[in-house]
Chain A
Amino acid sequence: MKSITKLGAVSALSLVIGASASFAETIKIAFIDPLSGPFASTGTNGLHQFQFAADYMVNEKGGVLDGDTFEVVGFDNQTSPKESLIQLQVAIDQGIRYIVQGNSSGVANALTEAIDKHNRRNPDSRVLFLNYAAVDPALTNDKCNFWHFRFDANADIKMDALTDVIVADENIKKVYIIGQDYSFGKAVSDAANKMLGEKRDDIEVVGDELHPIGKVKDFTPYARKVVSSGADAVITGNWGADMLGLGKAIIDNGFEGPIFTYYAAGSGMTAAFGETGKDRIRLISQGSINPIGSEEARETYNAFKEKYPEGNIDQSRIFNTIGMLATAIEEAGTADDVVAVASALEGMEYDSMWGGKLFMRPQDHQLIQDMHVGVHTNENVEFDYDNSGFGVVNESTIEMAGMDSATTCEMKRPE
């Protein structure tokens, strides 16, 4: 009796699949990030990159699974975890299976918990969380789950790559660490202290401080401390106005050494630093823009610039996210069964058009990829930011950064 039911179910299911295959369908992706408020420019720019990547890499090339196309739908979360959960529910109610988000680890933490809970309770409407930018290491460690995939390198992997470059420079003997006073700034400081100590114990941390986030009017007094500490290099995780203010003050007030940063490019910042930041600001990023990773990437970038003349591809991982999702859906043979898609993503190896290989580590769903440390300059820049003539040029590459990095993730997979 039971087997007959099963047979019926399977044949009914195959009928449905067979019927749907002949009609091209839309696979919706919910983009839950700030589209209004102070971080709106970052969010809007990200949405443009996602929509462009979906059209250019998937839809215009015939889609996936016999012509199904991707559609990226924007949901405004105003950078608030609470609002994000509401938008998540709206997206799920609309039958969306794929959630992308990246701005703020606070939001990512809320989403990953909510999605885990939802998927356990509603096996019929499970969703996947493709995190393209939230870098809190906890997301792929203690808080990891089967539904979460991170396409950006986490804060520890980035610091590991940055400190590799720092310790290779014999001239750097004293380092000043400064950041915003919240969880991310503290994570950067902890990682920097730990890794510098492990890699070269003759490097002295001559300053380690946090300043109030978004409230400092003039960074000059901080810059004075950096200069008088005799530091040879500065490390900061600052972003937005805090990054620009700090960077400008440090350079204007006589600091001569390099400044190692996470987020000192794009969204007007590269243009605003201009000549002042030349050869001074170092930036960690994934994907190579200058020199461009491949002919395919060059064409993609040019096509993007044609559609969004004011925009920049400053998050090449967005293209990796779309590319890997499309590949996984093809491999799984379905877009509806997210367990199959997630299983295809786990352990996937993928050639990025931005250069290098990508590997989705199955233990914790952390994408392993090449990391590049570049310098802010206007020489040899094929693709600038903010149409300013200035951009980031690679100086050193760490292949498959963090390949063997430890993880505390104990992933429970669905039956």
Chain B
Amino acid sequence: MDLILVNIIDGLVTGLLLFMLSAGLTLIFSMMGVLNFAHASFYMLGAYFAYQISQGLGFWMGLLIAPLIVGVLGAGVERYGLRRVHQYGHVPELIFTFGLALLIEELVQFVWGKNQMPYFVPEALNFSAFAIAGNSIPAYKIFMIFISLAIFIGLLFILTRTRVGMIIQAALSYPRTVEALGHNVPLIFMGVFGVGTALAGVAGVIAGPVLGTFPGMAFVLGSIVFVTIVIGGLGSLWGALVASLLIGWITTFAKAYNIAMADILNGIGFATPENLDDNLFRDLWTVTSPQIADILPYILMVLILIFRPSGLFGKRHS
């Protein structure tokens, strides 16, 4: 019972981190209609920049400055890269971002090398906040929860309660009309792209010390971010949040409990075959939940696509 509570907190941390990545991606996707394959690379850049800044100025300055640099870089990529490629259609855009992801990974390896970086949790947060039945919850995790929630509330407020948000939302659906009203739509796009990548940067800054800062960190998270926005529904902030939390909890619980497939199959009325060694379905019978934990989100995505193609909170596009 105690462990359930601990897993709920762990899943919440994983989910909220995923949300910070997918929030930016889902905004960019719905706006420009292009999947930014390099999104996780901006996450990696956030971690590396923050590590570099923290060497001289400490963790907090890294948290402040690194996302800004990543955001400016992102805006630059939109202004001088994507906007030029845009006129040739979606496929060149896709290839552009794909190439960008590879380029960023090579650059990171070139500058910082291939090793793990010694990027640490700040001293002020390096203690155990509280413990549940011997399982300590690090203070840093509580900090991660608060910072992600703050970002979610901030984004929601800007998008739904302010004039800027209104113009952005309008530009997403009716760019021509908004432009005719005298707003600079390309500038809005650039701004949203910048903010989206900066959000990925924040995720990198705060995930780097716990998940490790190394050249493969973008690759590890790359595909799961797309799964999140597809499950949540493209362009929906609430969808991104719900899908992130769902994925966080599903994977955490699947890893935390050794549920064997044999038990489930027995439970729904199948008898375990006498001799498993020669059985055609041997692998199916012996698989356990931690082994498949990381593919469960993909299964969920396929199910969502079958039964609700627009995602949990998505509006169907014509």
Contacts and interface: CB of A to CB of B under 8 A. Distances in A.
A318 to B, nearest CB: 19
A228 B134 contact: yes
Interface stretch (A47-55, A264-272, A348-356, A403-411): A264-272
Contacts of B252: 220-221
Contacts of A40: 114
A38 B290 contact: no
B138 to A, nearest CB: 5
Interface string A213-225: 0111110111011
B256 A388 contact: no
A244 interface: yes
**Interface hub of B118, B216, B253, B258 (most chain A Cβ within 10 A):** B118
A244 B213 CA distance: 10
Contacts of A254: 128, 131, 134-136
Given A221-B10, A224-B10, A245-B211, A274 B136 contact: no
Given A221-B255, A222-B255, A252-B210, A228 B115 contact: no
B309 interface: no
B221 A217 contact: yes
B120 interface: yes
A241 B7 contact: no
A211 interface: yes
B212 interface: yes
Interface string B109-121: 0000111111110
Given A221-B256, A228-B133, A253-B135, A241 B214 contact: yes
Contacts of B7: 221, 224
Nearest to B221: A217
B115 A268 contact: yes
Interface in A232-249: 241, 244-245, 248
Contacts of B291: 181, 210-212
Contacts of A388: 118
Nearest to A252: B138
B220 interface: yes
Contacts of A248: 210, 212
Interface string B176-211: 000000000000000000000000000000000011
A68 interface: no
B134 A274 contact: no
B307 to A, nearest CB: 27
A62 B136 CA distance: 60
A218 B114 CA distance: 20
Given A224-B135, A245-B212, A253-B135, A386 B115 contact: yes
Interface in B1-53: 3, 6-7, 10, 13-14
A92 interface: no
Given A220-B10, A271-B116, A244 B212 contact: yes
A11 interface: no
A57 B278 CA distance: 56
Interface residues of B, number: 41
Given A181-B291, A253-B135, A253-B138, A244 B221 contact: no
Contacts of A190: none
B263 interface: no
Nearest to B14: A218
Contacts of B211: 217-218, 245
Contacts of B258: 209
A274 B212 contact: no
Contact of B116 (A209, A214, A244): A244
Contacts of B253: 221
A41 interface: yes
Nearest to A216: B294
B216 A228 contact: no
A172 interface: no
Interface string B95-136: 000000000000000000111111110000000100101111
A212 B212 CA distance: 17
A27 interface: no
A155 interface: no
A241 B3 contact: no
Interface string B234-263: 000000000000000001110110100000
A329 to B, nearest CB: 34
A38 B10 CA distance: 29
A38 B216 contact: yes
A224 B138 CA distance: 13
Nearest to B114: A41
A38 B113 CA distance: 11
A218 to B, nearest CB: 6
A381 interface: no
A220 to B, nearest CB: 5
Contacts of B134: 227-228, 254
Interface string A150-188: 000000000000000000000000000000010000000
B203 to A, nearest CB: 12
Contact of A41 (B115, B136, B213, B224): B115
**Interface hub of A228, A268, A276 (most chain B Cβ within 10 A):** A268
Interface in B254-281: 255-256, 258
A106 B211 CA distance: 28
A224 B8 CA distance: 12
A241 B210 contact: no
Interface in A257-282: 267-269, 271-272, 274-276
A186 B136 CA distance: 30
Contacts of A271: 115-118
Interface in B129-172: 131, 133-138
A228 B3 contact: yes
Given A241-B214, A245-B211, A209 B290 contact: yes
Nearest to B140: A252
Contacts of A222: 255, 290
Interface string B48-85: 00000000000000000000000000000000000000
B64 to A, nearest CB: 23
Given A228-B3, A252-B138, A269 B10 contact: no
The 5 A-B pairs with the shortest beta carbon distances in the complex, nearest first, are A268-B115, A254-B136, A221-B255, A41-B114, A268-B116
14 contacts: A38-B114, A41-B114, A215-B220, A217-B224, A221-B252, A224-B6, A224-B10, A241-B116, A244-B116, A254-B135, A267-B115, A268-B115, A268-B118, A275-B120
Given A220-B10, A310-B113, 7 more contacts: A221-B10, A221-B251, A224-B6, A227-B134, A227-B135, A241-B116, A245-B211
